[in-house]
Amino acid sequence: MKAELTRAERLSALLERLVSAGQLEVEDAAAFFGVSAATIRRDLDYLAEQQLLARTHGGAVPNTTSYDLPLRYKTSARSEAKARIAERAVELLWPGCTVSMNGGTTTVEVARALPRAARLRESAPGSMEPHGITVVTNALNIATELTVRPFIKIVVCGGVARPQSYELVGAIAGETLSQLTPDLCILGVVGLDPEAGLTTNDESEAAINRVMMQQAKRTVVVADAAKLGRVDFCRICRVDEVDAVLTDADADPKIVAALRAAGPEVILA
């Protein structure tokens, strides 16, 4: 690996290589990252202390949580593409609108882009509300990002928190969200395939995502090109049940064409 990484970046990359390969050897990882074997051993020991992998003699293997990593350890791969998607997603909003967002690396980028949109700080014409927009979310990290923004009203559902994604799920979350009808749902997914539809890796998250998109007047899926054509464990809905797909310009033209043929508008950022 040519580019020098920070420790946080190296930890994320180690976890991704572990999940991809099924195991890690200290010497191989040291050669790949261009650091000493002692550095890799310390990294693996740290990740084992966080219960994100299991140490072996000479390396590491995945444990039950390695396949569903907390967001704070996920790599910033394709961060530029996600930032472009986020900026384009914010352009779809207007002063006074209500928008729901689930958890995920792309929707977090959307949340971070909201404060930069000066036009959203205004109240809707004729409104007495002091805030510009309302954000409904089941993601604790998104709520934390936006709570300090006075022009954004935050509505957070209750539920059981999943440490892997910081999302609130379960019956309480579903009941709360079913009482709300946002103008727009910005939905992050793990996989988006023209035939298999929208998928994620946890059935409880899939259930809440279904409620969010069904309750919204319009649903826009935000997914970078790497997620197109991917099929994960749990289906959220069919492609023709959403209004638009917002992805980046690196998306496979064949998949883009198939998505458009299925019904939704495809927007390339």
Q: Which residue from 167, 93, 103 is spatially nearest to 131, judged by alpha carbons? A: 93
Task: Examine the pLDDT at 128 and tell me if it is beyond 50.
Answer: yes
Strand partners, 61: 54
- pLDDT score of 73: 62
Kindly state the average pLDDT of the residues 253-264: 98
Q: What single letter denotes the amino acid at residue 73?
A: Y
Q: Which residue from 152, 109, 156, 120 is spatially nearest to 136, judged by alpha carbons? A: 156
- pLDDT score of 64: 64
* Predicted confidence (pLDDT) per residue in 133-174, tens digit: 999 999 999 999 999 998 999 999 999 999 778 899 999 999
pLDDT band of residue 89 (cuts 50, 70, 90) is very high
* Predicted confidence (pLDDT) per residue in 12-35, tens digit: 889 888 877 788 999 999 999 999
Task: Examine the pLDDT at 103 and tell me if it is beyond 90.
Answer: yes
- pLDDT score of 2: 45
The backbone torsions φ and ψ at residue 101, rounded to the nearest 5 degrees and listed phi first, read -140, 135
Percent of the chain with pLDDT over 70: 91
Task: Examine the pLDDT at 245 and tell me if it is beyond 60.
Answer: yes
Kindly state the average pLDDT of the residues 197-215: 96
Kindly state the average pLDDT of the residues 65-75: 61
- pLDDT score of 122: 76
Half-sphere CA count of 108, side-chain side, radius 13 A: 16
Kindly state the average pLDDT of the residues 201-208: 95
- pLDDT score of 135: 98
